[in-house]
Chains A and B, each alone.
Chain A
Amino acid sequence: EPEVTQTPSHQVTQMGQEVILRCVPISNHLYFYWYRQILGQKVEFLVSFYNNEISEKSEIFDDQFSVERPDGSNFTLKIRSTKLEDSAMYFCASSEGDSRETQYFGPGTRLLVL
């Protein structure tokens, strides 16, 4: 069964450094998403992406964040200058179609900012 994959599974970085989290959505899916889960807290929506542009974003998704689909398979989340509070599990998800469709999640990337 097709799955969303994410790399790396764990990332440790120094505060102020840039990180790029990578995701490979399910191949026939058209909508892509990033969520994050700070330890002990709710899973929070960051951004959705369709047709090579952001379709919706939350107030968390500020200028420090960007997303890109650099080729036909990868979907990336870049954090330009990491802060301690960016430490979280970051989940990528994809869905086949529009908002009526179910989102399928990847295993997550655990980001630790020191």
Chain B
Amino acid sequence: AQTVTQSQPEMSVQEAETVTLSCTYDTSESDYYLFWYKQPPSRQMILVIRQEAYKQQNATENRFSVNFQKAAKSFSLKISDSQLGDAAMYFCAYKPGGSEKLVFGKGTKLTVNP
């Protein structure tokens, strides 16, 4: 079964500092996609970043970047220059190629301290 594990239920970071959120996944597929979604207290889930498994280059979106280690099945999210607005629940998600289904981790609650 495909599973996604986020081992950090909660993390905190000081404003302007850098934080890394961990995610590992289990799959036997070779074609898949990985995502980080952010869910602020307003509850709308927002896409932060996505990574195609066939791409070796790590995805980057402004202050957000990933460290994708395919052999280790690891997909961590790095947030640089953390801002108060980054405080949210962060979900790692996996989607096999050819399937519509997103498989989510349990989430990591990120607190940003001023």
Contact = CB atoms under 8 A, between A and B. Distances in A.
Contact of A56 (B43, B91, B101, B106): B101
A106 interface: yes
B37 A99 contact: no
A104 B105 contact: no
Nearest to A50: B100
Given A55-B100, A99-B99, A105 B44 contact: yes
Contacts of A42: 104-107
A106 B100 contact: no
Contact of A99 (B35, B50, B91, B95): B95
B98 interface: yes
Interface of A: 31, 33, 35, 41-45, 48, 50, 55-56, 58, 89, 91, 99-100, 102-108
Interface of B: 33, 35, 37, 42-47, 50, 91, 93, 95-107
Closest 7 CB pairs of A and B: A48-B100, A105-B45, A43-B104, A107-B44, A45-B101, A56-B100, A42-B104
